[in-house]
């Protein structure tokens, strides 16, 4: 079979594009090299929907950020994804910062960002009493928001699948061949897929994919960003997302509540040569903690839940690289920040590109933009919960104590597109193992549920695929 379109990469960009394309009468597939979707930058970023005052006037980043930010609330509502319009603040400490804030304001107005306001110290601290007393001014962006980025990715891929798209996991594209009317995409393990069109949303490896069809016009390098995530006890310290005024040293460390009520602090920003090194460093984590303490008072790092490192795909052009270097092949590359914020707009933009290139596109009347929310049970009232438990007693059994996730919710997640096949996949879909004990109590039960549902042996369940096994075998069976 020949697909109409193959989307390479099941991150938030690939996911949103696939979802958009699934609203047309197309035969679609999504190819992902990892064991699950949202395994790259889409699960390790700041989870911010930027207002849009950062990107340079006239850039693709500026255009798509402002558009994407405006689309995000509706997109999240359709997909049942957690989203919160909490506003954002860029705080400054001196006259130099104030000047930068003024220019950000002007840039934001030019970019079309609504509601921007410059605040003095009193107004800033009235809004956010825990922002450092040393802060003297701030740029307030009421449209700044937060979202759950991996949920958005999972839901967009899932929605595309519900509308007919196929997802091929562990499919690392290693070569692309072409005949008259279709590409043949070869995976490292020997599988092949034929597709008329290719969307290259391969993140860090978008340059390698482009090169497979002879396009060497850009390069991607990895920019490391380390984060420290704190317990929900700390989530109420601030309401808005707090940025430091950008300087020659970069954008600085942000402090923000997450949609789940935790506090996220980070990222560092270090360009690295390799594309796989997601190790955190003592210096990086220390930097995050030090600068956070300068920006916000009362952050208690003894409430740390986890630390992690994400790799942003930075393009060589300084802007998003969205183009068609040749027929039937679209690059969607270098989607660094504000990539998450822009994702819904990027999807529309790509469809417009394809239309301009005269790809036959006909709306599919059976398309539904809606997906059942992953956290409906959690938010239900007592009576509603009891109705559900009566029908399915699994919803009365708590598996994850820290985040109160039930067996019913975990089983529903395991059965819903895109189906998770490992512990981390269940974690991203249900929050089980994401609380303060980090899976200490519940992971042995979740391994059991996964083994049962997938009908595989207990010891074959992994943390995130590949060699990330949990158990080596039965006791007294160790060689």
Partner 1 sequence: MKQIDLVIVGGGPAGMSAAVAAYDNGIKNILILERDSHLGGILQQCIHNGFGLHRFGEELTGPEYAWRYEQQVYERNIPYLLNTMVLDISPEKVVTATNSEEGVFQIQAKAVILAMGCRERSKGALNIAGTRPSGIFSAGTAQKYVNLKGYMPGKNVVILGSGDIGLIMARRMTLEGAKVHAVCELMPYSGGLARNIEQCLNDFGIPLRLSHTVVEIHGKQRLEGVTIAKVDENRRPIPETREYIPCDTLLLSVGLIPENELSKTAGVPLDRVTSGAVVDQDRQTSVEGIFACGNVLHVHDLVDYVSEEAEIAGKSAVAYIQGITAERTDIPLSTDGKIRYTVPQRITQKKDVTVFFRVADVYRNVTIRVSDGDRVIYSKKKLKVAPGEMESITLRPDQFADAKALSFALEVK
Q: Which is nearer to partner 1, 59 or 471 (CB)?
A: 471
Q: What are phi and psi of 164, to 5 degrees?
A: 110, -10
Our CB check for partner 1 shows the closer of 65 and 430 to be 430
- Nearest distance from residue 309's CB to partner 1, in Å? 8
Residue 26 C-alpha from the chain's centroid: 25
Question: Could you give the CA distance from residue 230 to residue 435 in angstroms, rounded to a whole number?
Answer: 10
Q: Give residue 197's region: left, alpha or beta (phi > 0; psi -120 to 50).
A: beta
Q: Least distance from C-beta 302 to partner 1, angstroms?
A: 8
Least Å distance, CB 163 to partner 1, is: 33
Query: In the complex with partner 1, which residue's Cβ is closer, 379 or 448?
Result: 448
Q: For partner 1, which residue of 118, 219, 378, 458 counts as binding (CB under 8 A)?
A: 458
Q: In the annotation, is 50 catalytic?
A: yes
Stretch of 58-66, 211-219, 253-261, 396-404 lying at the interface with partner 1 (CB under 8 A): 396-404
Binding range to partner 1, per CB under 8 A, among 9-17, 154-162, 247-255, 387-395: 387-395
Applying CB under 8 A, does 398 fall inside the site for partner 1?
yes
Pick from 397, 415, 452, 456: which binds partner 1 (CB under 8 A)?
397
Token output for 317: 């052009």
C-beta separation of 143 from 53 below 8 A: no
Give the whole-angstrom CA distance, residue 237 versus residue 404.
Answer: 23
Q: Is the dihedral of CA 177, 183, 185, 191 positive or negative?
A: negative
The region of 19-27, 148-156, 251-259, 471-479 touching partner 1 under the rule CB under 8 A is 471-479
Gap between the Cα atoms of 471 and 130, Å rounded? 45
- When asked if residue 170 is in the footprint of partner 1 (CB under 8 A), the reply is no
Among 394, 419, 454, 460, binds partner 1 (CB under 8 A): 394
Binding mask 275-314 for partner 1 (x = CB under 8 A): -x-xxxxx-xx---------------xx-xxxxx------
Residue 93, both tokens: 């400490």
Strand partners, 429: none
State the nearest-atom distance from the C-beta of 233 to partner 1, in Å.
9
Per-residue burial over 90-102, b if 16 or more Cβ lie within 10 Å, else e, is: bbbbeeebbeebe
Burial of 249 (0-12, 13-18, 19+ CB in 10 A): exposed
- CB nearer to partner 1: give 93 or 301: 301
Q: Based on CB atoms, which residue is closest to partner 1, 190 or 282?
A: 282
Among the listed residues 162, 37, 155, the one whose alpha carbon sits nearest the alpha carbon of residue 421? 37
C-beta atoms surrounding 368 within 10 Å: 12
Q: Of the two residues 6 and 255, which places its CB atom closer to partner 1 in the complex?
A: 255
Instruction: Put residue 358 in one of left, alpha, beta given phi > 0 → left and psi -120 to 50 → alpha.
Output: left
Site string for partner 1, 198-237 (x = CB under 8 A): ------------------------------xx--------
- The verdict on 455 binding partner 1 (CB under 8 A) reads no
CA of residue 222 relative to chain centroid, distance: 16
Q: Is 172 in the site for partner 1 (CB under 8 A)?
A: no
Structure tokens at 89: 């603040």
CA 73, 425, 334: angle at the middle one, nearest 5? 60
Is omega for the bond preceding 267 within 30 degrees of 0, making it cis?
yes
- If one asks whether residue 193 binds partner 1 (CB under 8 A), the answer comes out as no
CB of 299 to partner 1, least distance (A): 14
Q: Is 441 a residue that touches partner 1 (CB under 8 A)? A: yes
Q: Is 469 in the site for partner 1 (CB under 8 A)?
A: yes
Q: Which residues bind partner 1 (CB under 8 A)?
A: 228-229, 276, 278-282, 284-285, 301-302, 304-308, 382, 385-386, 389-390, 393-398, 401-402, 404, 436-441, 443-444, 448, 458-459, 462-479
Catalytic machinery residues: 50
């Amino acid at each position: 079979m020949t697909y109409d379109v193959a989307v390479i990469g099941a991150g938030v960009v690939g996911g949103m594009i696939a979802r958009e394309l699934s609203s047309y009468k197309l035969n679609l597939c999504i190819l992902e090299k990892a064991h699950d979707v949202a395994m790259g930058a889409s699960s390790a970023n700041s989870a911010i929907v930027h207002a849009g005052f950062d990107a340079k006037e006239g850039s693709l980043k500026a255009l798509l950020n402002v558009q994407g930010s405006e689309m995000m609330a509706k997109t999240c509502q359709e997909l049942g994804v957690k989203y919160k319009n909490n506003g954002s603040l860029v705080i400054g400490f001196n006259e130099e910062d104030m000047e930068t804030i003024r220019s950000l304001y002007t840039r934001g107005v030019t970019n079309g960002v609504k509601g921007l306001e410059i605040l003095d110290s009193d107004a800033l601290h009235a809004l956010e009493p825990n922002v450092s007393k040393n802060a003297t001014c701030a740029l307030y962006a009421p449209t700044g928001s937060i979202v759950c980025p991996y949920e958005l990715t999972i839901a967009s891929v899932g929605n595309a699948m519900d509308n007919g798209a196929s997802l091929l996991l562990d499919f690392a594209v290693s070569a692309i061949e072409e005949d008259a009317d279709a590409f043949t995409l070869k995976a490292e393990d020997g599988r092949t897929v034929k597709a008329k069109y290719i969307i290259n949303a391969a993140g860090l490896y978008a340059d390698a994919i482009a090169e497979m069809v002879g396009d060497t016009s850009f390069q991607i390098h990895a920019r490391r960003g380390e984060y420290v995530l704190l317990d929900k006890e700390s989530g109420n310290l601030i309401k808005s997302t707090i940025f430091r005024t950008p300087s020659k040293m970069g954008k600085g460390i942000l402090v923000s509540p997450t949609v789940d009520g935790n506090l996220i602090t980070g990222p560092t920003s270090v360009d690295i040569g390799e594309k796989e090194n997601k190790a955190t460093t003592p210096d990086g984590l220390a930097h995050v903690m030090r600068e956070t303490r300068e920006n916000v008072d009362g952050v208690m790092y003894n409430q740390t839940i986890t630390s992690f490192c994400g790799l942003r795909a930075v393009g060589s052009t300084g802007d998003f690289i969205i183009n068609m270097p040749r027929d039937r092949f679209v690059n969607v590359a270098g989607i660094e920040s504000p990539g998450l914020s822009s994702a819904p707009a990027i999807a529309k933009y790509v469809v417009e590109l394809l239309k301009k290139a005269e790809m036959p596109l006909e709306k599919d009347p059976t398309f539904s933009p809606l997906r059942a929310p992953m956290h409906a049970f959690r938010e239900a009232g007592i009576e509603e919960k009891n109705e559900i438990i009566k029908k399915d007693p699994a919803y009365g059994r708590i598996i994850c104590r820290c985040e109160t996730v039930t067996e019913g919710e975990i089983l529903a997640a395991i059965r819903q597109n895109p189906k998770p096949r490992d512990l981390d996949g269940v974690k991203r879909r249900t929050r089980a193992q994401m609380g303060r004990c980090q899976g200490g109590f519940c992971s042995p039960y979740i391994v059991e549920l996964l083994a049962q549902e997938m009908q595989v042996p207990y010891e074959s369940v992994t943390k995130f695929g590949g060699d990330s096994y949990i158990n080596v075998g039965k006791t007294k069976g160790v060689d």
